[in-house]
Structure 1
Amino acid sequence: MKTITNIYKWCAHPHHLFFITIAALLLPNIALCVTEQLGVAASLANVLLPAGIYWMAMTLSRKPGKPIWGLFLFIFFAAFQIVLLYLFGKGIIAVDMFLNLVTTNPGEAMELLDNLVPGVAFVFIVYLPILILGVVSIRGKKTTTKTFVHNQRIIGGALTAAGLLSLSAAYITDDDYRAELDLYPANVIYNIYLAGERTYQTNHYAETSKGFSFKAKKETAYDGREIYVIVVGETARACEFSIYGYNRPTTPLMQRERGLVAFSNVMSQSNTTHKSVPMLLSAASATDYDRIYREKGIIEAFKEAGFHTTFISNQLPNHSFIDFFGEEADDWTFIKEHSKEGANTPDEEMLTILNKVLAKNRKRELIVLHCYGSHFNYRERYPRSEAFFRPDDASEAKASNRQQLVNAYDNSIRQTDRLLHDIIAALRKTGAVAAMLYTSDHGENIFDDDRKLFLHASPTPSYYELHVPLIAWVSESYDRLYPGIHATLVANRHKPVASSASFFHSMLGLAGISTPYRADSLNISSGKLHSAPRRYLNDHNKAMPLDKTGLSKKDLEMIGNVGKKH
């Protein structure tokens, strides 16, 4: 007890608190020099310039607590950055991270934080005591001396000058260096600005897309019943589907389905839900993402072509483009809104609504299902009675738990297999001309290699986040009405496809809906499908070649090997 008291007194001393605060604020700067592999000049600028500014800021009051709380936002950034480095191993706080803060529901966030104990505990141990000691400093009588403040201002000025010289050297020695991208926390502040700009554009979507029309029409004059179903999965990576050769039976039901075609060489253009799903549900892609602010989604195209439309989501609304496109449907529901707060709602509950819609016996129907799929915490995505792979109880984000995490994840894929099987069974039962198209928004990291990456949405993507399943199914009656389409799907099943770019065009093609916005070069049911260069939508919404995204050599090799397997 005496030792703790002595430590407290030492830390609370104004002079000591001054240096402790600066050291804690510089932890992310030092770490990022290593994780981002910055050059010598860039590393010096990344440490010296912020150090000088923090140093000067801490001299603004002889009570260190006042500048500590004045720097609260930067303390928050530091804590946030440390947790992200713990989780992803590299990358600054991205624009998408700030957008995730406002589009992730509280239950989902707590489910994640509960299992990031080491990283969260570290930032609490480091930064919370500083804030508490700051309050003690403000209320107490102890202050730094005038001589101390004078000397520290000289040191702070010298560090700032050295940092500015290093910054100039970084620009001279590296043509790609940009302070708004490479200097922490300037890059974080820039990302906040971009996040605000995107939020503004998103909030004004109703105005900027007003009056838009696809000019969509049905190509055929078929008088019978037609039903098309879009299933948007969550966090499903193709390498865990046995239908693609995975050595565990995760998709036994799909593998027996007649009329089903699994596309093997498919990459998502984003590892974040709030960008990937809107691209799946619209004509926007990585190369022309900004059109998302001006155009409506695929549901509107089906409505124009005379279809009744229904949107069913097992995720909470979050005022994003997913909501906007979903709410363009004739009928829409977010089933989690009607569940007890914090309760786990299995994707199978969407089947009840699906069957009610099918029972209406409408002539032309589009149904969109947005799943919760394999989102972490994996073991919450399926009933305990369906735990095929065991043990699956460990959920803390630690590499030592990998096997149990994989067991739980694979169990969640089996639930997706059952869901798709049941959807197909329901469609087949109607006897209608029917087709279903399924893909996932992105994949997932599960401590797969020595990088020890976990989850998704990392600033730098990995193979495991990008390689996703894409599955098409057509009924026997569909095959009779549209002869040759199933054969074309089979012929195209191993061609390289960007799911985010192709999904919109493929669904319109399957349904026989023509519009000037449909591109059959991206349509998996068309003989005109061709392989365009793959692009990734980076954090600043720029379409990047995969070898310019930060993907490791191993990632690029695995992506290349997917195409070589066939």
Structure 2
Amino acid sequence: MKIFKDIYRWCLQPCHLFFLTIITLMLPNVALCITERMPLMAALANILLPGGIYWLLMTLAKKPGKAIWWLFFFVFLAAFQLVLLYLFGRSIIAVDMFLNLITTNPGEAMELLDNIAPAVVGVFVIYLPLLALGVMSVCGKKELDKSFIRKQRSVGYAIIALGLVSLAGSYVSDKAYRAELDLYPANVLYNIVLAGERTYQTAHYTETSKGFTFHARQTLSESEKEVYVMIIGETARACEFQLYGYNRPTTPLLSKEDNLVAFTNVLSQSNTTHKSVPMLMSAASAVDYDRIYREKGIIEAFKEAGFHTVFISNQQPNHSFIDFFGEEADEWKFIKEDSEDGRNTPDTEMITMLNKVLDKGRNKEFIVLHSYGSHFNYHDRYPRNAAFFQPDDATEVKKENREQLINAYDNTIRYTDRFLHGVVDALKRHGAISAMIYTSDHGENIFDDDRNLFLHASPTPSYYELHVPFLVWTSDRYNSAFPNMQDILKSNRKKPLASSASLFHSMLGIAGIETPYLADSLNVGSPKLHSAPRRYLSDHNKAVTLDKAGLGEKDFRLLRQHHVDYK
């Protein structure tokens, strides 16, 4: 106990606490110099300029504890940044991460926090004692003497001057360098401003899209019974589907479906749900994302064409475009909204709801199902009797648990297989002209290689987050009404697609809906489908090539291995 008392007394010395605070605040800067592989001048700027500013700010109070609490926001950012580096291995706190804080429901957040204990405990060990020492400093009598403050103030100015020289050198030596992108925490503050702007734009979507129309119309007779189902999966990566050559039986039911076409060359344009799903539900894509603020979603197009529309989600509403587009339907339901005990509802529960909709017997029906799929925590996404691959009960986020995490993840894919097969069976029983399209918003990292990446939504995506399944099923009656469609689908199955760009156009095209907004070049059901350059929607909503998005040689090698085009 004596050693702890000695450490405690040492830390409470004002001059020691002064330097200790600067060191702890600078930990993210040092870590980012390494993880981002910064050039020398950029690394010096990233250390010297923020360090000098912190140094100077610490001289503004005689009691260091006051300065610590004045800098509380930066203490919080530092802790947040270190946790994200633990999870993703690199990158600053991105715009999308701030938006994820707003759009992720508390249950999901707690599931994640419960299973990243090492990172959370680590930052608590570093930063909570600092804050506690700050309180004790404020309440205590010890102060920095004036000569110390004057001396350190001079040192702070000198370090800032060196930092500014390094910053100028960074601009000169690297034409792509930007302080708002490459200097921590200036880049995080910039991202906070952008997150605020996007939140404002999203909140005013109803106003900015008011009066928009697709001028959509149906091509089949009103007396023909048609049912079209669009299913948006969650965190499903193509490489784990038996249909795509995976060596485990993860899709045993779908593998037996004769009228199912699996598109193999499909990439998502975003690894974040709050951007990917809205793109899947609208005409927006990476190259024209801003149209999302002006236009309505695919449900509105089907409504204009005379279809009754239904949106069913097995996720919580989160005041994002997912909600806005879903609530444009004639009927909409967020299953988890009614869950009083916070339980996780299996996706198959949506099949019961689907059958109730189909039993109404309406001639024109369009249904969008948003599943919970393979979202972490994996073993909570399927009932215990569906645990085919075992053991599967390890949930703590660490490399040593990969085998069990993969077993649990593969069980979620196998359960998705059961869910999709159930939807197909429901459509078969209904007997209408019907089709189903399924794709996932993005994939997931599960400690797949020596990078030790986990989860998704890092500003620098990987192969595992982008290669997604894209499945189209058509009924026998549909194939009789459109006898060439299966041949067209099969001829297109290996062409490069962006799921975020193609789902909207493919769903409308396969349903035979005409609108000036339909692009056959993006429609998998059209002989005019052709490949477009691969683009990824960056954290700052710019359409960038995959190499600019941050994919490395490992990712490009995996893309080649799975016969996925990437240029």
- TM range, normalised to the smaller chain? over 0.9
Q: Does 1:32 align with 2:29?
A: no
- SS of 1:269 mapped into structure 2: coil
User: 2:413: which partner in 1?
Assistant: 413
- SS of 2:277 mapped into structure 1: helix
User: 2:271: which partner in 1?
Assistant: 271
Question: How far is the alpha carbon of 1:556 from its aligned partner?
Answer: 1.6
Q: Partners of 1:170 and 1:291 in 2: how far apart?
A: 35
Question: How far is the alpha carbon of 1:541 from its aligned partner?
Answer: 0.1
Question: How far is the alpha carbon of 1:420 from its aligned partner?
Answer: 0.2
User: 1:12: which partner in 2?
Assistant: 12
Change (3 A) 1:341 1:192: farther
User: 1:376: which partner in 2?
Assistant: 376
Q: Partners of 1:91 and 1:107 in 2: how far apart?
A: 25
User: 1:73: which partner in 2?
Assistant: 73
Task: Tell me the amino acid that sits aligned with residue 551 of structure 2.
Answer: L
Task: Tell me the amino acid that sits aligned with residue 112 of structure 1.
Answer: L
Q: Partners of 1:106 and 1:142 in 2: how far apart?
A: 42
Report if aligned partners of 1:496, 1:563 keep a CA contact under 8 Å in 2.
Answer: no
User: 1:112: which partner in 2?
Assistant: 112
- SS of 2:346 mapped into structure 1: coil
Q: Does 1:309 align with 2:309?
A: yes
Report if aligned partners of 2:336, 2:342 keep a CA contact under 8 Å in 1.
Answer: no
User: 1:336: which partner in 2?
Assistant: 336
User: 2:483: which partner in 1?
Assistant: 483
Post-superposition Cα deviations, 1:181-211, rounded to whole Å, max 9, x if no partner, equal 0000000000000000000100000000000
User: 2:386: which partner in 1?
Assistant: 386
Q: Does 1:508 align with 2:508?
A: yes
User: 1:92: which partner in 2?
Assistant: 92
Q: Partners of 2:78 and 2:562 in 1: how far apart?
A: 39
- SS of 2:123 mapped into structure 1: helix
User: 1:525: which partner in 2?
Assistant: 525
Which runs of 4 or more aligned residues in structure 1 lie more than 4 Å from their structure 2 counterparts after TM superposition?
Answer: none
Structure 2 gap segments, 5+ residues each: none
User: 2:350: which partner in 1?
Assistant: 350
Q: Partners of 1:151 and 1:259 in 2: how far apart?
A: 78
- SS of 1:563 mapped into structure 2: coil
Q: Partners of 2:217 and 2:165 in 1: how far apart?
A: 62
Q: Partners of 2:564 and 2:218 in 1: how far apart?
A: 38
User: 2:555: which partner in 1?
Assistant: 555
- SS of 2:368 mapped into structure 1: strand
Question: How far is the alpha carbon of 1:386 from its aligned partner?
Answer: 1.1
User: 1:326: which partner in 2?
Assistant: 326
Report if aligned partners of 2:238, 2:244 keep a CA contact under 8 Å in 1.
Answer: yes
Change (3 A) 1:260 1:379: same
Post-superposition Cα deviations, 1:391-433, rounded to whole Å, max 9, x if no partner, equal 1111111011100000000000011000000000000001111
Q: Partners of 1:49 and 1:25 in 2: how far apart?
A: 13
- SS of 1:362 mapped into structure 2: coil
Q: Does 1:456 align with 2:456?
A: yes
Q: Which moved more, 1:385-394 or 1:460-469?
A: 385-394
Q: Partners of 1:4 and 1:342 in 2: how far apart?
A: 42
Report if aligned partners of 1:495, 1:563 keep a CA contact under 8 Å in 2.
Answer: no
User: 1:140: which partner in 2?
Assistant: 140
Task: Tell me the amino acid that sits aligned with residue 389 of structure 2.
Answer: F
Q: Which moved more, 1:385-394 or 1:289-298?
A: 385-394
Q: Partners of 1:254 and 1:442 in 2: how far apart?
A: 20
Post-superposition Cα deviations, 1:274-328, rounded to whole Å, max 9, x if no partner, equal 0000000000000000000000000000000000000000110010000000000
Q: TM-score, normalised by structure 2?
A: 0.99
Task: Tell me the amino acid that sits aligned with residue 537 of structure 1.
Answer: L
Q: Partners of 1:153 and 1:324 in 2: how far apart?
A: 52
> Percent identity, aligned pairs only?
68
Post-superposition Cα deviations, 1:430-457, rounded to whole Å, max 9, x if no partner, equal 1111100000000000000000000000
Post-superposition Cα deviations, 1:517-555, rounded to whole Å, max 9, x if no partner, equal 000000001000001011000000000011211101121
Post-superposition Cα deviations, 1:35-63, rounded to whole Å, max 9, x if no partner, equal 11111110000000000000000010010
- SS of 1:142 mapped into structure 2: coil
Q: Partners of 1:88 and 1:141 in 2: how far apart?
A: 43
- SS of 1:200 mapped into structure 2: helix
Post-superposition Cα deviations, 1:316-371, rounded to whole Å, max 9, x if no partner, equal 00100000000000000100011124311111111121111011000000010001
- SS of 1:81 mapped into structure 2: helix
- SS of 1:534 mapped into structure 2: coil
Report if aligned partners of 2:311, 2:367 keep a CA contact under 8 Å in 1.
Answer: yes
Task: Tell me the amino acid that sits aligned with residue 422 of structure 1.
Answer: G
Q: Which moved more, 1:138-147 or 1:199-208?
A: 138-147
Q: Partners of 2:10 and 2:393 in 1: how far apart?
A: 43
User: 2:216: which partner in 1?
Assistant: 216
Q: Does 1:172 align with 2:172?
A: yes
Task: Tell me the amino acid that sits aligned with residue 104 of structure 2.
Answer: T
User: 1:493: which partner in 2?
Assistant: 493
Q: Partners of 2:263 and 2:361 in 1: how far apart?
A: 31
Q: Does 1:185 align with 2:185?
A: yes
- SS of 1:59 mapped into structure 2: helix
Q: Does 1:295 align with 2:295?
A: yes
Structure 1 gap segments, 5+ residues each: none
Question: How far is the alpha carbon of 1:564 from its aligned partner?
Answer: 6.5
Q: Partners of 1:562 and 1:387 in 2: how far apart?
A: 27
- SS of 2:540 mapped into structure 1: coil
User: 2:538: which partner in 1?
Assistant: 538
